[in-house]
Chain A
Amino acid sequence: MRFALILLSLLMALPTHAMEVQEVRSPSGIVAWLVRDTRIPVVAVEISISGGSIADPAGKEGLASLAMDLLTEGAGPYDGQAFAARLEDGSISLDINAGSDFIRGGFRAPSANAAEAFRLLGLALSEPRFAAADIERVRQQRISGLSREERDPRTLATRAWYATAFPEHPYGRPSKGTAASIATVTREDMVAFVKARIARDNLKIGVVGDIDAVAVARLLDETFGLLPAKADPAEARTMPPAASADVMVIERPVPQSVVLFGQPGLSRNDPDFMTAYLLNQIVGGGGLGSRLMTEIREKRGLTYGVYTYLSTPRRSGLWLGSVSADNAKVAEVIGLVREAWRNLKENGVTAAELDDAKRFMTGSYARGFATSRGIAGALVGWQEESLGIDYFERRNAMIEAITLEDINRVAKRLAEPNRLMFSVVGKPQGVTPTRQPPARG
């Protein structure tokens, strides 16, 4: 068997430990990134397929995610129960899920069962059965799950925020669908979706564990070789969130209000992205020590938790945050968040804050690679974002290079108190809504 093996040795800047990422190319040209680790008898795989629920037609929201749930409910020669039994008897955990921009899937298996796990993944992707009874069961499970989620304050707050920020855009629609939209999805819809999306030119693969490049190259062809060569395009326009300085309130009879807040962020390939990442760490990303945790939790005892994060869907960029507070206190909490935003815009951050954030982000990076599936996920994430096979090696140096000037320039650029939008679910006291939440889809 012939295969090309491109070796790029990437050493962690840490004594006695190395993480070497190899590019493996199969005889038919399918590429995977591999981290070989023989210390424990486990193999993990992560795959990414570009184009998820963004391609769902209006009225059929949830099509992609329902179709992906069904891939592991019977494929090839196995009905749903036989497929599940093969997974269980091989101690293989296998899943495939649709996000909005990407389908992600993969498995973790004892290395003795790795070939079987690859085979089952390949069957799920290329020969799903979509049996009528399974479709109906999974549809019912989805409807049941949605009826739970649709009463969950956090889900309500999130949906209202996104629907307002992304009118007429797939990001504004629920990727898992609604009871009504799920009811309209047919077998033909799902078969067509799989045929259009799951293809070799659309696939990123990460492999980790006790398996060598020769075996991986062979398994790549066996697993993915039967997939169509080309996927249909899944297009959607790029759109920053239409966030305003508004507050929406959805009344629900719960003692604590749940708040989602956010403003436009940066796209993942923005040159300021890493700097914004550090900035977020300081504002609300770092657990106990962040500015928001200090002001709202530590000093005033108003919440159990408040955090912020950058979200980078492929066609947008968001800076979001979440907090819960008892109904009587939530108005004060919203005021403190706004105050933190104004303060950031006007005064930036201090050298000490920047130093702490850099030390945390560089020092914690290697620890994220403690589980096989976690490493496989990172390998695929770097491919999705075209960060390069040497990203692991370069990443900390990029953070180290960020200066106080940089971060304070980005603080001014990024923080937009006038576009910080709040979505509140509960019975908040003293909060005046300035905007109607969108009608439920």
Chain B
Amino acid sequence: MRTLRLLLAFVAFGLASTASAQVYRPDSFKLANGLEVVVIDNPRVPAVSVMVWYRAGSADEPLGKGGIAHFLEHLMFKGTPKTGPGEYARLIAREGGTQNAMTSYDYTAYWAEVASDRLEMVLQLEADRMINLELTEEQVLSERDVILAERSQVVDNRPASQLGEQARALLYQHYPYRLPVIGWRHEIAKLSREDALNWYRRHYAPNNAILVVAGDVDVARLRPLAEKHFGPIPARAVPERWRPEEPPARAPRRLTMKSEQVGTPSVSRSYQASSYLYGDTRQAYALQVLAELFGRSATSRLYRLMVIDRPLATSAGAYYEASTIGPGSFGVYASPRQGHTVEEAEEALDQAIDQLLADGPTEDEVARAKQRLSAAAAFALDSLRGPAMALGAALTIGRTIEDVESWPRRIEAVTREEVLAAAKAVLRPEASVTSILLPKPTS
């Protein structure tokens, strides 16, 4: 549970999940206390996915309290006066449901999937823990150990994760995305019950949350249940989200790490980029097309140039992350083939980038990439949780339902010139961090 999904999930949701005229065809309404509610009627199985999203993520944390958003996410399962410690998970499981939660830079979200006739039970539990969380000192300290173990497991045991964490700390010079969602070990170790409750009181309120229900459900059924359980929770003043702006980037940055745990060398480079909500936001669509044609498939440029035509790499690709309040990131990566060096791989990446910036993509590359991206909309409803994830993530960072639903049209409207212009704006060495991961002979 509490899987911390660092949603580096490249364009994950927005992208893999959208449709031609419309994508998810959601309905929405708002309660008097400010709670936004989104409904996606998708009755493939007699079940619902219920998600509660809070507009509070690690990038909203006060300095020195790194990891508190994620810590509270864990503690939200500890109970209320009505629901004893551990009861939340047990009650959901007894009804055949599963549940979990996740924390990212811009949000914290809780989800449960149950048979649709158990919808009300989940709403009741979620509404209860929105205002009535109870925490004992003992629970908090024991859960802090769990989080330290989680950090060991997902970061400290994995050289690639450690290097990624260091690279982010350099990619963003001022923006809080430079800090890991889970927090630095030394700061996690000092987080207290009081810190958790302060965070909870500050950010957890109906007017700072979005309820998304997808599956075998419609507005007529959901609205009275939402009114009944969330309606009585009073709105509270929540702090306005404030985020700094990045200063201009002036120098390329490089890191090299060697580890006995690394088997194959690799190089990756990330560039700060505009996102859906930061910088030149129109570029967000062109950059998705760019990532697709440059390195997100087996016929993409990087794969063709480096893995097929002049085979010096075993993998090569690109990614772009657009779904963030702050700056997004665009990245390229490669791993050299036996008999080739990481320097050769980096050189080949550089050449491919230079060629792209000189000549731009071809019309055919752009057309194929757009077609591939927008056709994925056919699969938008082939999942219970997927649609709830996509809409929740979008709305929590400040996008609209219309933004999500118009995604295929926005992608189809991208031109070759826009892709080239976006590439030129983003692929600047001074805005980049290059990370090299190398094997170290066992001592």
Instruction: State whether these chains interact.
Output: yes
Which residues of A are in contact with B by a Cβ distance under 8 Å? Answer: 12, 14-17, 37, 39-42, 80-81, 84-85, 88-89, 91, 108, 110, 133, 136-137, 140-141, 143-153, 252-256, 258, 286-289, 294, 297-305, 324-326, 356, 359-367, 369-372
Question: Separation in Å of the A59 CB from the closest CB of chain B?
Answer: 20
Decide: B152 and A144 in contact? CB cutoff 8 A.
Answer: no
B403 interface residue, CB < 8 Å from A?
no
The distance in angstroms between the C-alpha atoms of A143 and B152, with both chains bound, is: 28
Pick the contact of B146: A255, A304, A359 (CB < 8 A): A304
| 29 A-B pairs whose Cβ atoms sit less than 8 Å apart in the complex | A12-B46, A14-B115, A17-B46, A39-B381, A41-B378, A42-B379, A89-B372, A91-B379, A110-B379, A140-B337, A141-B315, A144-B314, A144-B315, A146-B263, A150-B263, A152-B261, A153-B157, A255-B152, A256-B153, A288-B1, A288-B77, A288-B89, A289-B86, A294-B86, A304-B153, A360-B96, A365-B96, A367-B384, A371-B383
The answer to whether B89 touches A289 (Cβ under 8 A) is yes
Binary per-residue interface labels of chain B (372-413) against chain A in the complex, 1 for a CB within 8 Å, 0 otherwise: 100110110111100000000000000000000000000000
Shortest Cβ distance from A337 into chain B, in angstroms?
15
Contact residues in A for B147 (Cβ distance below 8 Å): 304
Chain B residues with CB under 8 A of A91? 372, 375-376, 378-379
- Number of residues of chain B lying within 8 A (CB) of chain A: 63
Q: For chain B residues 141-180, which have a beta carbon within 8 Å of chain A? A: 141-150, 152-154, 156-157
Could you say which of A80, A252, A258, A294 contacts B308, with CB atoms under 8 Å apart?
Answer: A80
Q: Do A147 and B263 form a contact, CB below 8 Å, given A15-B46, A84-B299, A363-B115?
A: yes
Contact (Cβ within 8 A) A366 B115: yes
In whole angstroms, what is the CA distance A254 to B90 when docked? 34
Q: Does A360 lie within 8 Å of B157, measured CB to CB?
A: no
A294 proximity list for chain B (CB < 8 A): 86
Q: Closest 8 CB pairs between A and B?
A: A363-B96, A301-B145, A147-B263, A304-B150, A288-B89, A301-B142, A91-B375, A370-B384
User: Which B residues are CB-close (under 8 A) to A153?
Assistant: 157
B44 interface residue (CB < 8 Å to A): yes
| Residues on A with beta carbons closer than 8 Å to the beta carbon of B376 | 91
Determine whether the beta carbon of A110 is less than 8 Å from that of B375: yes
Give residues of chain B (322-340) contacting chain A, Cβ–Cβ below 8 Å: 335, 337-338
- Given A89-B371, A302-B145, A356-B90, A141-B314 contact (CB < 8 Å): yes
By beta carbon, the residue of chain B nearest A367 is B47
Decide yes or no: A88 and B46 within 8 Å by CB, A42-B382, A147-B264, A303-B149 being known contacts. no
**Contacts of B58-98 to chain A: CB distance below 8 A:** 77, 86, 89-90, 93-98
- CB-nearest residue of chain A to B260: A253
Given contacts A140-B337, A256-B152, contact A151 B260 (CB under 8 A): yes
Given A88-B372, A255-B156, A324-B153, do A297 and B86 touch, yes or no (CB 8 Å)?
A: no
Q: Closest residue of chain A to B298, judged by CB?
A: A84
Judge whether B308 and A359 touch: CB under 8 Å.
no
17 further interface pairs, Cβ-Cβ under 8 Å (given A287-B1, A288-B90, A301-B144): A15-B46, A39-B44, A39-B381, A42-B379, A81-B299, A88-B298, A88-B372, A137-B311, A141-B315, A144-B337, A252-B261, A256-B153, A288-B89, A302-B145, A326-B152, A364-B96, A367-B113
Decide if B383 touches A370 in the complex (CB within 8 Å).
yes
Residues 131-149 of B at the A interface (beta carbon under 8 Å) = 141-149
Contacts of A254 in B (CB 8 A): 156-157, 261
Q: Which of the residues A81, A304, A359 comes within 8 Å of B95, measured between beta carbons?
A: A359
Interchain CB contact under 8 A, A356 and B93: yes
User: Which of B46, B154, B304 has its CB near the most chain A CB atoms (within 10 A)?
Assistant: B46
A370-B44 contact given A88-B298, A151-B260, A289-B86, CB 8 Å threshold: yes
Residue pair B149, A302 in contact (C-beta under 8 Å): yes
Chain A residues lying within 8 Å of B383, measured Cβ to Cβ, are 370-371
**Pick from B45, B47, B143, B308: contact of A137, CB under 8 Å:** B308
Give, as a whole number of angstroms, the nearest-CB distance from B177 to chain A.
24
User: Quick check: is B262 within 8 A (CB to CB) of the other chain?
Assistant: yes
Q: Pick the residue among B43, B90, B335, B375 that contacts A17 (CB under 8 A).
A: B43
Q: Which residues of A contact B299 (CB under 8 A)?
A: 81, 84-85, 88
Which one of A147, A152, A153, A363 has the highest number of Cβ atoms from chain B below 10 Å of its Cβ? A363
The smallest C-beta distance from A124 to any residue of chain B, in angstroms, reads 14
Which of B96, B315, B337, B383 lies at the interface centre, i.e. has the most chain A CB atoms within 10 A of its CB? Answer: B96
Contact, CB under 8 Å: A84 / B297: yes
Say whether, besides A81-B308, A88-B298, A363-B97, A324 and B314 are in contact (CB < 8 Å).
Answer: no
Contacting pair B157 A362 (CB below 8 A): no
State in angstroms the CA–CA spacing of A327 and B250 once bound together: 42
Q: Given the complex of chains A and B, what is the CA–CA distance between A147 and B442 in angstroms? A: 14
Once the chains are docked, how many angstroms separate the CA of A152 from the CA of B143? 27
